[in-house]
A = this chain, B = another copy of it.
């Protein structure tokens, strides 16, 4: 098991993330060993572990430094994230994730449904075992509710040619940013900081999450299918029109319409044409500008965080810059 190289310069966080993965592994105990194996492979597939990492980093601000608890709560966040990925892959009919076969493609949708449910329940179990209070669980469950409500909201927007930037931001807030926000909030709150401070940390996470998702959506228009580990613009075929395409549509709906109206019957040439048009109509450029706005908001707020022994503030700033300037 190898951690993503992004964590190499930080031995202390690296160690805690490794322990977090081990703790996740220990919490998963299925009789069906091949399903268990698939879930574990997914967990160890080399993602950046951003959500548990942010949670661990924000947990360094408070007076309560129970690291075992911090790692268990970080594991619970990553479990929740993994559960939603397994279920997302059912909804998206996805065969690959991070270049590996998805649970649904290896075992079928039926196993993937229950495997995701099982991880959700494992997440609850860790939260119940390690949260400091019922209050923290209450805040946590409200955030989870927003995440699921966001997933269902996105489905409503499918194939909409007149989607607005606001709707897009609302959808990705639910789908992605809320979980980043929750990680930062719970990290601070469960380390003994008050709700006001934790809320500020949560807002940093929200802004990071929004920038992160916009950049992820931009990558669909800047990478080829091999680099990204899934077919080019598969999402567009499925009616998910992300920010670069929305901006391009605002500029010239008529140019894009002949391709988009074929919906799931779009050919590879059609998606290639959409790919080119989105660039020509400045969709990528404008999306990059909006991502920069959210990145700046996050970095400005990080800069105002208190200093501490572990230099958390500097690490947060460096990591955030790194992941939000990513080209892969």
Contacts and interface: CB of A to CB of B under 8 A. Distances in A.
A242 interface: no
A125 B141 contact: yes
Given A32-B152, A109-B109, A152-B114, A145 B125 contact: yes
Interface in A110-146: 110-111, 113-118, 120-122, 124-125, 127-129, 131, 133-134, 137-138, 140-142, 144-145
A118 B91 contact: no
Copies per complex of this chain: 2
A153 interface: yes
Interface residues on A, range: 35 or more
Contacts of A122: 145
A29 B117 CA distance: 21
A31 to B, nearest CB: 5
**Prevailing SS type, chain A contact patch:** helix
A277 interface: no
Given A90-B113, A110-B90, A110-B91, A31 B138 contact: no
A228 to B, nearest CB: 22
A110 B145 contact: no
Contacts of A147: 121
A87 interface: yes
A132 to B, nearest CB: 9
B148 A111 contact: no
A117 B155 contact: no
A111 B114 CA distance: 15
Nearest to A147: B121
A128 B124 CA distance: 10
A30 interface: yes
Interface centre among A138, A152, A153 (most CB of B within 10 A): A152
Contacts of A121: 120, 141, 144-145, 147-148
A300 interface: no
A177 B224 CA distance: 50
A227 interface: no
11 contacts: A29-B149, A30-B152, A31-B156, A32-B153, A91-B109, A118-B152, A121-B147, A121-B148, A129-B138, A129-B141, A134-B134
Interface of A: 29-32, 35, 83-84, 87, 90-91, 109-111, 113-118, 120-122, 124-125, 127-129, 131, 133-134, 137-138, 140-142, 144-145, 147-149, 151-153, 155-156
